[in-house]
C-alpha cells in the first residue's frame, strides 16, 4: 500500500524554549517569517502526502488557525492592494488537508502516535517530528517513502551522530545491506555511550506499518517514564522487517536553541529577498566578533 497520510506529534510543552513557549506553541516559532511546522508540512507535501494529522495538546490552537482560512485578513490585504502577502496567505489554504486531534496528556512520543490510530486506520503512515527540519535536494521523507515502496516495511530515517550525542536519540543495532540502507536488528532508546550499539540515530522521520498500533497499546513507559515509540519499534522487529535509511540533507535540531539559531541564519542567507543584505550585515559584524 502507498503512504497517503502523515502524523505530526505536536503536543509537547516546548520546555527548552521557555518563556516563549508558555503561551506560544513551539511549532509556531518562526524561522525567519515562516512557522517551523509549516516547513514540516511542506516537506510532507513535497513527498506526495497532503493528508496530515497534527496531534495537538492544550494551548495549541494557533497551529489550527495558521492552516485555516482567514477571511478578514484576506479582505484587509485585498483592500490595501497587498497582493504578495495575500498570495502567501491564500497558498496556505490549499497547501494540505490538515486535521487535528488532541493528546489529552503528554505521555511520550509513542502515546502521541497511538492517538492517530483511528485517523490512520489500517494504512501505513509517515511520522514527522517538528524539532527536525531537513534541507536537501530531495525531501528527506520522500527518500524514506521510496524505500518503503520497495520493501513494504517500516523505514526509519537515520544519520550518524558523534558518540557523545547517542544518549539523545534512539540508536540502531543494524547491518548495512547496501550503501545507506540498514536491516535493523535492535533499537535502544537514549543509551549511554558505552552501551550504544552504533552511532546511527533516528532523526525524526518514519514510515511505519499499522502493525505498530496493537504494540503501542501494550508498550509500558520506558525512558523518562514515557511511552517510547522506539520501544514499540523494537518489539515490531520481532514481527516484521524494519529498515534504517541514511537520508541525504542537512538536518537542523530546532528544538535546541543553538540549532534554532543556526537554522534561522542559514535559511535567511538562502533567501533571495533578504539574503544579500543579511550577508552584508554579518560581514560587517565579523570584525566586532574577532
CB 55 within 8 A of CB 10: yes
pLDDT tier, 223 (very low <50, low <70, confident <90, very high otherwise): confident
Percent of the chain topping pLDDT 70: 100
Determine the Cα–Cα distance for residues 42 and 30; give it in Å rounded to an integer. Answer: 14
Determine the Cα–Cα distance for residues 143 and 244; give it in Å rounded to an integer. Answer: 11
For the chain, list the domains and their CATH numbers: 5-255 (3.90.550.10), 256-290 (no CATH)
Question: What mean pLDDT is predicted for residues 229-254?
Answer: 94
CB 152 within 8 A of CB 55: no
Q: Poorest-confidence range of 7-16, 146-155, 203-212, 217-226?
A: 217-226
**Res. 104: pLDDT tops 90:** no
pLDDT tier, 93 (very low <50, low <70, confident <90, very high otherwise): confident
Q: CA distances (Å), 91 to each of 69, 83, 86, 87, 177, in order? A: 10, 12, 9, 6, 42
Q: Report the Cα–Cα distance between both ends of the chain, in Å, rounded.
A: 56
**Res. 116: pLDDT tops 80:** yes
3-state secondary structure at position 44: helix
CB 54 within 8 A of CB 63: yes
Nearest to 96 by CA among 140, 47, 143, 49: 49
Q: Which helix H or strand E contains 92, and what residues bound it?
A: helix 83-93
pLDDT tier, 232 (very low <50, low <70, confident <90, very high otherwise): very high
CB atoms within 10 A of CB 268: 19
CB 219 within 8 A of CB 227: yes
Note the pLDDT of residue 47.
Answer: 96
**Res. 274: pLDDT tops 80:** yes
Note the pLDDT of residue 30.
Answer: 95
The widest CA-to-CA distance across the chain, in whole angstroms, is: 63
pLDDT tens digits along 48-79: 999 999 998 877 788 989 999 999 999 999 99
pLDDT tier, 288 (very low <50, low <70, confident <90, very high otherwise): confident
Q: Rounded to two decimals, what is the model's pTM?
A: 0.93
Note the pLDDT of residue 127.
Answer: 97
**Res. 94: pLDDT tops 90:** no
Residue located via cell numbers 486535521? 99
Q: Which residue has the higher pLDDT, 200 or 105?
A: 200
**Res. 212: pLDDT tops 90:** yes
C-alpha cell at 193: 555511550
Note the pLDDT of residue 11.
Answer: 83
Determine the Cα–Cα distance for residues 249 and 251; give it in Å rounded to an integer. Answer: 6
pLDDT tier, 229 (very low <50, low <70, confident <90, very high otherwise): very high
Q: CA distances (Å), 21 to each of 16, 158, 195, 261, in order? A: 9, 28, 34, 16
Amino acid at each position: 500500500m502507498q503512504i497517503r497520510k502523515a502524523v505530526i506529534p505536536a503536543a509537547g510543552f516546548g520546555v527548552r524554549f521557555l518563556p516563549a513557549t508558555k503561551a506560544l506553541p513551539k511549532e509556531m516559532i518562526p524561522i525567519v517569517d515562516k512557522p517551523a511546522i509549516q516547513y514540516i508540512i511542506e516537506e510532507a507535501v513535497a513527498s506526495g502526502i497532503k493528508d496530515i494529522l497534527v496531534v495537538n495538546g492544550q494551548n495549541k490552537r494557533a497551529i489550527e488557525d495558521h492552516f485555516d482560512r482567514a477571511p478578514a485578513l484576506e479582505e484587509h490585504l485585498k483592500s490595501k492592494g497587498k497582493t504578495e502577502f495575500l498570495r502567501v496567505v491564500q497558498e496556505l489554504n490549499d497547501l494540505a488537508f490538515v486535521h487535528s486531534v488532541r493528546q489529552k496528556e503528554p505521555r511520550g512520543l509513542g502515546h502521541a502516535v497511538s492517538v492517530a490510530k483511528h485517523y490512520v486506520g489500517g494504512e501505513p503512515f509517515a511520522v514527522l517530528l517538528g524539532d527536525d527540519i531537513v534541507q536537501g535536494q530531495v525531501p528527506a521523507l520522500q527518500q524514506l517513502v521510496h524505500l518503503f515502496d520497495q520493501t513494504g516495511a517500516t523505514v526509519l530515517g537515520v544519520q550518524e551522530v558523534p558518540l557523545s550525542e547517542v544518549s539523545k536519540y534512539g540508536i540502531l543495532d543494524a547491518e548495512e545491506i547496501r550503501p545507506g540502507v540498514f536491516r535493523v536488528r535492535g533499537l535502544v532508546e537514549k543509551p549511554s555511550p558505552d552501551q550504544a550499539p552504533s552511532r546511527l540515530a533516528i532523526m525524526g522521520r518514519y514510515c511505519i506499518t499499522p502493525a505498530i498500533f496493537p504494540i503501542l497499546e501494550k508498550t509500558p513507559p520506558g525512558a523518562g517514564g514515557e511511552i517510547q515509540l522506539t520501544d514499540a519499534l523494537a518489539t515490531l522487529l520481532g514481527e516484521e522487517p524494519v529498515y534504517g535509511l541514511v537520508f541525504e540533507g542537512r538536518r537542523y535540531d530546532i528544538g535546541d536553541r543553538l540549532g534554532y539559531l543556526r537554522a534561522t541564519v542559514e535559511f535567511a542567507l538562502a533567501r533571495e529577498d533578504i539574503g544579500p543584505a543579511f550577508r552584508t550585515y554579518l560581514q560587517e559584524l565579523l570584525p566586532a566578533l574577532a
